[in-house]
Structure 1
Amino acid sequence: MVTPVFGLLPTTDHRRSQEETMNLRRKAVLTAVLLAASAAVVSTTSASAGAARQELVCLVTAAASDHEQTLRRPSVVVDRLVEDTRSYRGRCVEYGERADLGNGELIAYSQADGSRPVSIGMIMTDGVLDGLPHDPPNDGKWCFDKDGNGTVDPMTECVGGYENQLELGWNFQRKVDSPFTYVLANWNPHGHIPVGVYNVPHFDVHFYVKPDAERTAIRPGPCPVLVNCDDYELGKRLPDAKYLAPDFADVDAVEPGMGNHLIDPTGPEFNGQPFTHTWVYGVWDREVTFYEPMITHEFFDGLRTGTINDGCFDFKLPGAWQESGWYPTKYCLRHRDNRGEITVSLENFVYRHAS
């Protein structure tokens, strides 16, 4: 797990080792480099910047790319920093787990203001979209010999695509009042059911609010969609209607290692429009278990090349929540040109009491 530097803590050990001393000096130098870079941008920006609207920026420079510092600067300065350095808007993130995929890397991250989440998401470096595995259509983690012939056909007897489970950072999980704990990213090179809608190359980005042990206990078997039949019945036990967003329906999409997927048949992809990105809710044994944006490879590539603009999208919300905490009301898809990476995030959090 990777976490950013949050600042220097005082030590009670007056016999600090030489290595610790060198680390402290190094961090002090990095901080000086960051502040100098910010000051340089300010000095080359118009004098009116001082009176402009202020906003947060995470300052990152090429000279100190492994050190990030949150600053508040005029918007015109932030624009320059984002253009000329590896800085990004908002508070510095806490990085979680990461995994290689394609020719790049997936990284879980979170931003918080005290105990309130600002954003939780996944970074996808641009290289991920190249060199992705295609055949077989999955990594073989969730398979079942349905025809009983003694072998498993990866085309018809395995599901789940290529899976990477990424824990959010330590501080977020323990200090932020939110049920979200990890991201499960699935690359589906052939898509999945229903055929004619979602059978195009795409990513499923699940944000789970339940422990990973609960998810991985959902076994493969002969029932839809290749799930253990006892587990299938658990997946079919839906939460009370008040905890379900309007229009989302159970279509027997219960999968091993995931749970049941509820989809919205009023969405554009079911009404004559091509599938680009959409929203899914996950449930298991009467509980809502994950929030999921699904995004096509083509859409992500459009973000990367600039033919598709960044955007944030509302999704339908339930009338009540099973657990108190901060919950998102939008998902956002963006490209950071200065960093060569795509972000998928949940944002615009509101506090909800369990009822």
Structure 2
Amino acid sequence: MNISPPRTPRRYTVVVAALGAAVSLTSGCALNLANAKWYTTTYSGEAQTVGHGTARPYVIIDQDGNPTEVGVRLSATALDGLPTEDTVPPTETILEFPKQAKATVFNHVMLNWYSHGRKPAEIFGEPHFAFHFYTPDHHTVMDIDPKLHPDRAGKVPEKKYIAPDYISEPGNPVEMTKPQMGLHWIDTTRHFGPVGSAEEFREVFVYGSHDGRLIFQEPLATRKWLLTKPTFKSDIRQPQEYQRSGYYPTFYGIKYDAATNDYVISLGGMRMRKAT
């Protein structure tokens, strides 16, 4: 397990769009923004080793200081040198967001590598990554123990806080809650064929909860699909109400950035929501 405390971002990038031109700057550069249409700043957290490469969390802030996107940049070399044996819990890397992400509802990312996929193997057996964007801190997540606290594991969020077409994994919530992770909520509109078929699992988006609260949003992607260098974007269905005030994403994206040789897993289109 790789765990690092929050640190001051090592670098940031300002992107300016003025009169149709885009300019990329690094920290320390001065710029007259009088004629600029908009600009954003990207702050990066500490990188962690994954495979033969790295994973680095980031947040993008607009000209008004509001977050527009959070995500993870996974270097292309991270897809090589990964563990090949199953572990319980699965191989994980903890990525702490920089302090500039505090207006979002997210605290950190738990990046898991499933070397043999998940059950049922005929559907989800392809090796894949799971990017858990957590709202509570890492220590709180590590305290999730359905055997020690079945009352917490058995408590699910009220329906108004659950996005349409999502249900908890079939079965008793206490039994289905993963220790040090939570209870997964799956999208009933998504259907996949067997591994190797045209309809095989490539990516999906799920929610997670514990003790009556939603605690993570999770894009997943197979290694095989990432190697095709995809460009993908999909809306995130929203609940009627929210348990916590802050900026929430409205879409998720998975793409290959040829300029940096990174895979970018993003939660974007941030909107401010008030708790009710």
TM range (shorter): 0.7 to 0.9
CA deviation map 1:2-22 (0-9, x unaligned): 514569xxxxxxxxxxxxxxx
Whole-Å separation in 2 of the counterparts to 1:185 and 1:122: 9
1:162 match = 91
The alpha-carbon distance between structure 1 residues 353 and 101, as it changes in their structure 2 partners (threshold 3 A), is same
Corresponding letter in the other structure for 1:247: D
The answer on 1:281 being equivalent to 2:224 is no
2:80 match = 130
Whole-Å separation in 1 of the counterparts to 2:112 and 2:101: 23
Compute the displacement of 1:315 (Å). 2.1
Q: Is the 8 A contact 2:59 2:100 kept in 1?
A: no
Compute the displacement of 1:332 (Å). 1.0
The number of residues matched between the two structures is 255
TM score, norm. by length of structure 2? 0.83
1:95 match = 44
Q: Is the 8 A contact 1:68 1:92 kept in 2?
A: no
1:298-317 alignment, distance < 5 Å: 298-303=224-229, 308=230, 310-317=231-238
Whole-Å separation in 2 of the counterparts to 1:118 and 1:241: 27
1:330 match = 251
Corresponding letter in the other structure for 2:79: L
Compute the displacement of 1:265 (Å). 2.5
Q: Secondary structure at the match of 2:118?
A: coil
Corresponding letter in the other structure for 1:263: I
CA deviation map 1:315-349 (0-9, x unaligned): 22111101122110101112221211111010001
1:254 match = 177
Counterpart pick for 2:162 among 244, 253, 261: 244
The alpha-carbon distance between structure 1 residues 270 and 276, as it changes in their structure 2 partners (threshold 3 A), is same
The alpha-carbon distance between structure 1 residues 72 and 163, as it changes in their structure 2 partners (threshold 3 A), is farther
The answer on 1:265 being equivalent to 2:188 is yes
Whole-Å separation in 2 of the counterparts to 1:346 and 1:279: 11
TM score, norm. by length of structure 1? 0.65
2:58 match = 109
288-297 vs 108-117, greater mean Cα deviation:
108-117
Q: Is the 8 A contact 1:185 1:205 kept in 2?
A: yes
Corresponding letter in the other structure for 1:317: Q
CA deviation map 1:292-325 (0-9, x unaligned): 001111121111xxxx3x1211122111101122
Compute the displacement of 1:288 (Å). 0.5
CA deviation map 1:257-300 (0-9, x unaligned): 11111111320327982111001101000000001001111121
Compute the displacement of 1:196 (Å). 2.5
Q: Is the 8 A contact 1:163 1:187 kept in 2?
A: yes
Corresponding letter in the other structure for 1:93: T
Corresponding letter in the other structure for 1:111: I
1:342 match = 263
CA deviation map 1:92-134 (0-9, x unaligned): 4211122111110011111112442111011101100111111
Q: Is the 8 A contact 2:251 2:269 kept in 1?
A: yes
CA deviation map 1:35-93 (0-9, x unaligned): xxx9xxxxxxxxxx98x5245x5336xxxxxx5869799xxxxxxxxxxxxxxxx7342
Q: Secondary structure at the match of 2:101?
A: helix
Whole-Å separation in 1 of the counterparts to 2:79 and 2:28: 26
Compute the displacement of 1:181 (Å). 1.2
2:275 match = 354
Unaligned runs of 5+ in 1: 8-33, 39-48, 61-66, 74-89, 139-157, 220-227
Greater Rg, structure 1 or structure 2?
1
User: What do you get for the CA RMSD once the two structures are aligned?
Assistant: 2.8
The answer on 1:321 being equivalent to 2:242 is yes
The alpha-carbon distance between structure 1 residues 2 and 101, as it changes in their structure 2 partners (threshold 3 A), is farther
2:71 match = 121
Whole-Å separation in 2 of the counterparts to 1:93 and 1:262: 31
1:81 match = none
Q: Secondary structure at the match of 2:140?
A: helix
The alpha-carbon distance between structure 1 residues 3 and 134, as it changes in their structure 2 partners (threshold 3 A), is same
Q: Is the 8 A contact 2:256 2:264 kept in 1?
A: yes
The alpha-carbon distance between structure 1 residues 6 and 164, as it changes in their structure 2 partners (threshold 3 A), is closer
Q: Which has the higher contact order (CA 8 A, sep 6+)?
A: 2
Q: Which has the higher helix share?
A: 1
Unaligned runs of 5+ in 2: 1-6, 34-38
Corresponding letter in the other structure for 1:120: V
Whole-Å separation in 2 of the counterparts to 1:72 and 1:123: 29
The alpha-carbon distance between structure 1 residues 314 and 69, as it changes in their structure 2 partners (threshold 3 A), is farther
